Amino acid sequence: MPARVGGRKSRTKWVFALALVVVLGAAAGVAVVKPGPVDEWLSSAEPSSRPTPAPTTPDPSPTPVLVAASGGGTPLTASSVTKAIDPLVKSAAMGTKVHAAVLDVATGDVLYARNADAMTTPASTTKLLTAAAVLDARGPSHRLTTRVVAGVQPGEVVLIGGGDPTLATTKNKLFPGAARLDLLAAQVKKSLGGAEPTRLLYDTSLFSGPETAKGWDPSDISFGQVSRIQALMVNAGRIRPIHNEFGGDPRSPDPAGAAAKAFAKMLGVPSSAVRKGKAPTKAAGPSSAPATVDVTPGQELGAVQSPPMVQLTDWMLEQSDNTAAEALGRQVAIADGKPGTFDDTTEAIAGRMRDLGLPADEANLYDASGLSRNNGISPTMLTRLLSLAASGEQPALSSIFGGLPVAGWSGTMLKRFVSPKPNQGGQGVVRAKTGTLSGVNTMAGTLTTADGRLLVFAIMASGSANAVTGRAALDAVAAKLVSCGCP
């Protein structure tokens, strides 16, 4: 069943302004760190041979992309904002239907609303809900663990998928600092003391149910937009560690099986001896393995851990990785003690939004990535979420801003706000999650006006005949808000 979210209204007292707005940092006397692309945030240093337990407390401080403020600049009025952007919102290039909302974070005042409480296709702005939910459920420091344990049969080892979409075979540039199978294989060999494993099982039971969502296009996997969602995969299901914004990343038809065979090769186990199975518990009884292998069934032979959750969400948001979004969404359900299915995931995300006091009945989810055309989210839902994250009332949520692409500078916004020339005023100032499906263009994020006022916005358009001009039309609205005095 689809999930809906709801809750009570809240007002924010303290807000965060983008660190890119240097004038705010100078006024506050705070040293501001300019954010960088994800591949520079994540350490590329090789992990240690044995993982260390993930810290549970304290959680890391929010990524240094925001600086505290208390409503700087001159407040805008709803009438002046409407006068400034309404003609742009109504432009033919935008599409046949537009939903939009603009909110002043310091006051909580709605400065612009057009179909703002009505749900519409959100595309990848859905990932904002997923990121907020998993950070709320797991915390920014949580890591995902991929383990190997001894099997029941002689020479048998079991690779257990931990739901880490960034797991790699070897060092690569797709997910810098990711956990790696080659390092895991080295741990297993050391634990076996020179004994050769002869059989590999792989356990994917952490996730269950369908591997694709309702509302996905049949071409989404074949075109490389997403992989089948399984608890074990390397490079988010990709055959090669590459990423393209609009697809074209070939995916394995069986990500878990491909990862297992790659691992088996590292252990010297033939692919014919690789099978899907279940990991034993330590209570499975004595092993009948040769005496030279001093292990018992279920005994851990090795483990590798992902980067912290905040860095996983950074990548997922900046590069709009659909497979990563679905895998991280599963963590929300699992944290709530539910199975890792699509339905349980969307219900768990809904529950987190509701518990955070966000609007009732303004989100209807079928997946965690936004690929499903069955999804519906309102602009009010998105702006309220962004406002809450900016308030500092929920510290874990403020981490989402570190992953939002910056206009003209990073991620899916790298080539945005280029033309026409007036749109360039948004470069380096607008930080937002974009979304694109055929005929659908969306954007939700933050910006600071020329007068230093922090706004959150969501613009969601459908029915555009041209994706390029449709996206430029969205950019024009945000750029106009950046330059708007609007007293």
DSSP 152-188: SSTTEEEEE----TT-BSS--SSSTT--BHHHHHHHH
Give me the count of residues in the chain.
Answer: 487
**pLDDT reported for residue 319:** 93
**Residue type at 337?**
G
- Told to judge if 13 belongs to the known catalytic residues of this protein, a careful annotator would answer no
- Band of pLDDT at residue 46, cut at 50, 70 and 90: very low
How far is 62 from 335, CA to CA, in rounded Å? Answer: 21
pLDDT over 70, % of the chain: 83
Among candidate residues 124, 287, 306, 398, the one labeled active-site is 124
- Told to judge if 320 belongs to the known catalytic residues of this protein, a careful annotator would answer yes
CATH for the 3-140+309-483 domain, from 3.40.50.1260, 1.10.40.60, 3.40.710.10, 3.40.50.1000: 3.40.710.10
Give mean pLDDT, residues 82-100. 96
Among candidate residues 191, 320, 398, 462, the one labeled active-site is 320
Indicate the SS3 state at residue 431: strand
User: What are the sequence ranges of the domains in the chain?
Assistant: 3-140+309-483, 145-305
**pLDDT reported for residue 30:** 32
Tokens representing 219 are 């071409």
**pLDDT reported for residue 59:** 46
- Told to judge if 97 belongs to the known catalytic residues of this protein, a careful annotator would answer no
Among candidate residues 127, 189, 433, 480, the one labeled active-site is 127
Considering the entire predicted model, what is its pTM? 0.86
Give the number of other CB atoms < 10 A from CB of residue 454.
Answer: 25
Give mean pLDDT, residues 410-434. 95
- Band of pLDDT at residue 4, cut at 50, 70 and 90: very low
**pLDDT reported for residue 334:** 98
Counts of helices then strands in the chain (DSSP H, E): 12, 15
Distance of CA 104 to the CA centre of its chain: 25
